[in-house]
Amino acid sequence: MPSAPALYPVNLVLAGRSCLVVGGGPVAARKVEGLLAAGAHVHVVATSVGPAVRACTGATWDERAYRPGEASDYRLVVVATDDAEVNRQVALDAEGAGVWVNAADDPGSCSFMLPSVVRRGPITLAVSTGGRSPALARWLRARFSDNDTARFAKEMAGRVVRAQLATMRRFDIGYDLLTWESDILELIRAGEVERARERLQTCLSSS
């Protein structure tokens, strides 16, 4: 199997920008929901628009076949139909027009990948396997989605930001706090949240 290209992680600002989703099933609905959550203007095109897509408040849709070339009218395109030929056509149109495109279950036709995402307040955690193992990405996301870890991550971020603003200097402790070598996550998973807080405070005090 050829090696996958290296990915360049980014967070796109889609608020107010037009995005197209081709497909009307449950997978397409999940893509629509994610785009809407980012503030995008989402339009759906599908020969059959399912109830999950219709229930996405804020999205517009046309129940018809995709028209060759229409991907060029959008800033970003996601295609999620059960027709490989349609998926490929949309991807080719988008690529030819210089529009970023994601084709569900077809990494070779993608110019960007959609990671599994966990959002907790100001914290956004994105997990990607380059399209090779969506199941693994979902499992990793679940590992970081438990309530104790999420609550502590939000608290930790708040403390680090406040300390950074107070000292106005570079925060070299970030590596110690967030890498696997740190025992903070293990303490949280073991239910020892108070000890994790003490460990965090020690890191902050010694910086």
Domain locations along the chain = 1-113, 147-205
In order of 66, 142, 160, the CA distances from 150 in angstroms are 40, 11, 15
Q: Could you tell me the two tokens for 106? A: 């077809």
Can you name the residues that pair with 41 across neighbouring β-strands?
18
Q: Which CATH architecture has domain 1-113?
A: 3-Layer(aba) Sandwich (3.40)
pLDDT at 80: 94
pLDDT in tens, 77-129: 999 999 999 999 999 999 999 999 999 878 888 999 877 666 666 666 666 55
pLDDT in tens, 61-82: 999 999 999 999 999 999 999 9
Q: Report residue 134 as tokens.
A: 């969506």
Confidence of residue 34 (pLDDT cuts 50, 70, 90): very high
pLDDT for residue 165 is more than 70: no
Instruction: Determine if the pTM surpasses 0.75.
Output: no
